[in-house]
Amino acid sequence: MDAAHAAAALDVGAGSGVVASAMAACPVVVAVDPSLEMLRVARENGIVRVVAGGLPDLPFANASFDRVTAGFVLSHVADYHGALREMGRILRSGGKLGVTCWSKLDNEYREYWDGLVDKVVDRDSLRAATARWVPWEDWLADRGRLRETVHEAGLHEVTVEEIEYPVHTTIADFLTIREASGTARFLRTVLDPEDWERFCATARAEFQSHFRDPVEYTRRALIAIGTR
């Protein structure tokens, strides 16, 4: 993103400020997020300028920034085409937009956990719920589709790079992550507290029986960059 040669940068859906922090070479870095709690965390992590707001309508004038980033945001919005156009609106001519999406995920640990989920909840209901919170995750996991989508938003010189991130963790930590996932949040809406605790205990026992520490697999992220 060449932050050092930009005058002002915006990170959309900034969360805890990880991406905004990576733009620190830019003199002015702004983090925007709809969650006040996440903005507090971003400030604790050194992001001085934070704004409450989000897509589809960003609270900034046209051509306000030289760089705009959105880390793992597009898959969550109802209209990703509109989201990209909105981010392009606040981008100055010659500025760069950078977005990331997860590539396809398949590993034996995730598949095994999903199999345990299927035993306690209706798969169609879960699929419908997933479509509400990450409607475009599978669609944008395709490298060609992501490139085409960014280009259609009026950006040119679009590049898409796939980066591999090796994951090395314990079974306990892997399950802690899964228990905080969107799927787990859905489970907690359909299971009573006792059944949820029983499911977690069963998952821990099953994983300890079938796998051995450490848990090792690869996650892949797509990084798309386009110029206004």
The whole-number pLDDT of residue 106 equals: 77
Q: How far apart are CA 109 and CA 114, in angstroms?
A: 9
Helices (H), 35-170: 36-44, 80-89, 108-118, 123-133, 143-152
Q: How far apart are CA 69 and CA 60, in angstroms?
A: 14
Q: Decide if 98 contacts 10 (C-beta within 8 A).
A: no
The whole-number pLDDT of residue 104 equals: 83
pLDDT 10s per residue in the chain (228 long)?
Answer: 999 999 999 999 999 999 999 999 999 999 999 999 999 999 999 999 999 999 999 999 999 999 999 999 999 999 999 999 999 999 999 999 999 999 987 789 999 999 999 999 988 888 888 888 888 888 999 999 999 999 999 999 999 999 999 999 999 999 999 999 889 999 999 999 999 999 999 999 999 999 999 999 999 999 999 999
Q: How far apart are CA 68 and CA 66, in angstroms?
A: 7
The whole-number pLDDT of residue 131 equals: 81
The whole-number pLDDT of residue 154 equals: 94
Q: How far apart are CA 89 and CA 103, in angstroms?
A: 27
Q: How far apart are CA 17 and CA 23, in angstroms?
A: 10
The whole-number pLDDT of residue 128 equals: 87
The whole-number pLDDT of residue 134 equals: 84
Compute φ and ψ for 150, nearest 5 degrees. Answer: -65, -40
Integer-rounded Cα radius of gyration of the chain: 19
Domains and CATH numbers, the chain: 1-103+142-165+219-228 (3.40.50.150), 105-134+171-212 (no CATH)
